[in-house]
Chains A and B, each alone.
Chain A
Amino acid sequence: MSERKHDPLDEALASLAKDVAPERDLWPQIRAEIATTPIVAEEPRSRMQATWFRLAATVLLVVGTSLVTYYVTRQSMQQQVAQTTAPQTLPAPVAVAQPASFSFGSERLGAGYMNARAELDKSFQQRLAGLPPAARAKVEADLADLRRAADDISKTLAEHPSDPLLQDLLMSTYQSELQLLANVSELPTAGSMRTDL
Chain B
Amino acid sequence: MKAFERLYRLHSGKVMGLCLRMTRRRDVAEDCVQQTFIRAWRSLAAFEGRSAFGTWLHRIAVNEVLTHERNHGTRAESDGEAVEDAQAVPGETNREYDAGEVMDVERALETLPPGSRHVVVLQTVYGYSHEEVAEMLGIAVGTCKAQLHRGRRLLRERMGLPEMSDE
Contact = CB atoms under 8 A, between A and B. Distances in A.
A16 B106 contact: yes
Given A9-B161, A12-B97, A27 B13 contact: no
Given A9-B155, A14-B93, A16-B125, A30 B8 contact: yes
Nearest to B102: A15
Contact of B20 (A12, A20, A41): A20
Interface string A1-44: 00110011111111111111111101101110111011111100
A17 B88 contact: yes
B12 A26 contact: yes
A40 B26 CA distance: 29
A40 B43 contact: yes
A8 B95 CA distance: 12
Given A30-B8, A34-B41, A40-B45, A19 B104 contact: no
B56 to A, nearest CB: 14
Interface in B1-57: 1, 4-5, 8-9, 12-14, 16-17, 20, 26, 29-30, 33-34, 37-38, 41-46
B76 interface: no
Contact of B87 (A13, A21, A22, A35): A21
A11 B96 CA distance: 10
B164 A12 contact: no
A19 B125 contact: no
A15 B159 CA distance: 15
B120 A7 contact: no
Nearest to B36: A30
Contacts of B86: 17, 20
A14 B127 CA distance: 9
A21 B9 CA distance: 10
B92 A17 contact: yes
19 contacts: A3-B165, A11-B97, A14-B94, A15-B102, A16-B109, A18-B17, A18-B125, A19-B13, A19-B16, A20-B13, A20-B16, A21-B16, A26-B30, A26-B37, A27-B12, A30-B37, A34-B1, A35-B1, A37-B42
Given A9-B156, A37-B42, A40-B43, 19 more contacts: A7-B164, A11-B95, A12-B97, A15-B96, A17-B88, A17-B89, A18-B125, A20-B17, A20-B87, A21-B13, A23-B26, A24-B30, A26-B8, A26-B33, A29-B34, A30-B8, A30-B38, A37-B41, A42-B43
